Structure 1
Amino acid sequence: MTQISSPSPAVHAEPEHPGRGAVISEFPLVTRSLAEAAGSFLLVLAGLGVTILNTQTGVQPTLAFGLALIGANVAFGYVSGGHFNPAVTLGSAAAGKTAWASVLPYIVAQVMGGLAAAVFIWLLLSANQQFAGSVQALFAVSANGYAENSPTQFALSSAFLAEVVGTAIFVAVVLGATSRTATGVLRNAGGPFAIGLVYAALLTFLLPITNGSLNPARSTAAAIFSEGWAVEQLWLFWVAPVLGAAIAGLIYRSTDLFGGRKHAAPQDTAAPQEDTTETEIDAPTAADRYPAGHTRTGETGNDGNVDRPAGTDEARTFFDESDERRHGQ
């Protein structure tokens, strides 16, 4: 009997995107980029808006950023993967989860979405006589800085280190929460909440150090309409998040901590006897079971040997032979 073993399930190396996996491959790059712009607009509008306009209400700006990120992921994440942050996009590309061809369009869309939100806030403030003369000062409240522009006077080195480590942790959470090995509940429902809440927590930690960035698009949006020092110090809030994201992405790629490929590898090298998915392609003939010339009564093949139905196993053949012998055959 000729048998062929079915191949073990292949371990696909296709890129995986934060938020919804292969679903986003159904959308063209332009659509995904627009989704990134829309999510970034929502994130910056809510975060900066609460920071600038709601200083008397007691609403924590970091919570507003976190809730906005949850909403953006739920609303647009299934289209683009839910980055809304150049650091997340670069970290995802370094991890092998996002194609490098998508990186530049994503980053441009994120920055433009954040700037559009800042322009909208600027228009609102400028149209109000109470704020018309202090728009730059209001934006400075939400801008990121270090040294004398740090809320509590943290030095450049401390601010840089805090942003690098904070971004690395945040990107690691994004990569883990959207991994293929994460449970369906975590990826589809809990993922956005985990990402948004961790983002809010890390921003709360960074608030007294740098005013909380972790997102170059958010920092750029605030700096453009702020005072001159914010633009001068903007470089740190691009370099530090990018470095932190690269660290997280490269660690993910080198260890495959969340990807699950190392757990799947043994399936490709499993011993043949452990493969239970065998397919019979030739019906067994009598010659496969009986020596040539061994004639028996009953239904025979061309060679005079008893032929048995396809799929007869060894145990059944043995007992069939015993029955025949007892009947004097």
Structure 2
Amino acid sequence: MQVKSLQPGPAQLRTLEDEPQPVVAEFVGTLLLVFFGVGAAVLAAEYVGTLGIALTFGFVLLALAYAIGPISGSHVNPAVTLGMLMAGRIHLEMAVKYWIAQIVGGIVGAALLFLVAKQVPGLKTSETFGSNGFGDRSAVGINTGGAFVAELILTFLLVYVVLAVTHRVAVVGFDGLPIGIALATVHLVGIPLTGTSVNPARSIGPALFAGGAAITQLWMFIVAPLVGAALAAYVHKLTHPQPNVPAATEPEEEV
């Protein structure tokens, strides 16, 4: 019996880059994650609380893992894409396409949510609108350093779990379950601290519509998640050693 590496080979990666479906899937997936996840915070926080918001993010990502996981890997997060890039599972060209699709998807998702929120009498959208923050924009008043460390560790957990439970670009089988649980968990911890970003695309969209301090503090929720993702990719290589050589270039092993 022949045993082959689970790393994607050059043919697989070229196919992924040549087809538009993965990029479109990342756009749609990020749009839905922002609309429903941030929507739970903006429209339903009074009714569902922190637990409900956390579960909404987790359940949406779980659903997306099954819906678009086989197509794009269901990253819907620039930090996850960075982790995949550093793990050698996608090429830089495809990662850039994913990042653009995710950011645009997040903005469109926030725009649609903004339109809905404007139809709710008395609902305030300025300054907050599900955006992330620290200092006086944090429920517990966490400072700049604390927010950076929190976002780094929360993102580390999410990206580390994604890399650990998947062995290629696609999300298959039960891979989506631990990923959804991880996202819900980081929200349970992070919502009182920063509102939980762990995803630059999720932060950029709402901040653009919130304005004010949400924009000036946005750098934190771009830089910290990316640093956390890079650290997760490095640690994953130490705990899950595997060759980053495309399968097509590896000799097949007879068993």
Give the TM bin, normalised by the shorter chain: 0.7 to 0.9
* Larger RCO of the pair (alpha carbons < 8 Å, separation 6+): 2
CA distance in structure 1 between the aligned counterparts of 2:33 and 2:6, rounded to whole angstroms: 33
* Counterpart pick for 2:224 among 237, 240, 250: 240
In the superposition, the TM-score normalised over structure 1's length comes to 0.68
CA-to-aligned-CA distance 1:250-279 (integer Å, 9 cap, x gap): 2334x3706478xxxxx97x9xxxx88xxx
* Counterpart pick for 2:69 among 58, 77, 102: 77
Q: How many residues align?
A: 246
Aligned to 2:39: 49
CA-to-aligned-CA distance 1:145-173 (integer Å, 9 cap, x gap): 11121110011111101111111121010
Aligned to 1:86: 78
CA-to-aligned-CA distance 1:103-145 (integer Å, 9 cap, x gap): 11101100111111111111122234443xx3215xx051111
CA distance in structure 2 between the aligned counterparts of 1:27 and 1:101, rounded to whole angstroms: 8
* Counterpart pick for 1:35 among 22, 25, 45: 25
Q: 1:15–1:232: structure 2 CA closer, same or farther, 3 Å change rule?
A: farther
Aligned to 1:153: 141
1:207 equivalent in alignment to 2:195: no
SS at the partner of 1:171?
Answer: helix
* Counterpart pick for 2:102 among 103, 110, 114: 110
1:192 equivalent in alignment to 2:176: yes
Shift of 1:14: 3.4
Aligned to 2:247: none
CA-to-aligned-CA distance 1:77-127 (integer Å, 9 cap, x gap): 111111000000011101111111111110110011111111111112223
Identity of aligned residues (%): 30
Q: Residue 111 of structure 1 aligns to which amino acid in structure 2?
A: I
* Counterpart pick for 1:218 among 184, 202, 224: 202
Aligned 8 A contact 1:203 1:212 in 2? yes
RMSD of Structure 2 on Structure 1 (CA): 2.9
Aligned to 2:236: 252
Aligned 8 A contact 1:15 1:97 in 2? no
SS at the partner of 1:57?
Answer: helix
CA distance in structure 1 between the aligned counterparts of 2:175 and 2:104, rounded to whole angstroms: 26
Which structure 2 segments of 5+ residues have no match?
A: 245-249
CA distance in structure 2 between the aligned counterparts of 1:43 and 1:167, rounded to whole angstroms: 16
CA-to-aligned-CA distance 1:49-92 (integer Å, 9 cap, x gap): 11111123225211111111011111111111110000000111
SS at the partner of 1:242?
Answer: helix
SS at the partner of 1:189?
Answer: coil
CA-to-aligned-CA distance 1:218-276 (integer Å, 9 cap, x gap): 011111111310100000101000001111112334x3706478xxxxx97x9xxxx88
Q: 1:24–1:74: structure 2 CA closer, same or farther, 3 Å change rule?
A: farther
Q: 1:258–1:73: structure 2 CA closer, same or farther, 3 Å change rule?
A: farther
Aligned 8 A contact 1:136 1:225 in 2? yes
In the superposition, the TM-score normalised over structure 2's length comes to 0.86
Q: Residue 125 of structure 1 aligns to which amino acid in structure 2?
A: A
CA distance in structure 2 between the aligned counterparts of 1:27 and 1:107, rounded to whole angstroms: 14
SS at the partner of 1:225?
Answer: helix
Aligned 8 A contact 2:29 2:64 in 1? yes
Q: 1:102–1:256: structure 2 CA closer, same or farther, 3 Å change rule?
A: farther
Which structure 1 segments of 5+ residues have no match?
A: 1-7, 17-21, 181-186, 262-266, 277-329
- Give the number of the structure whose residues are more often helix, by fraction: 2
Shift of 1:47: 0.6
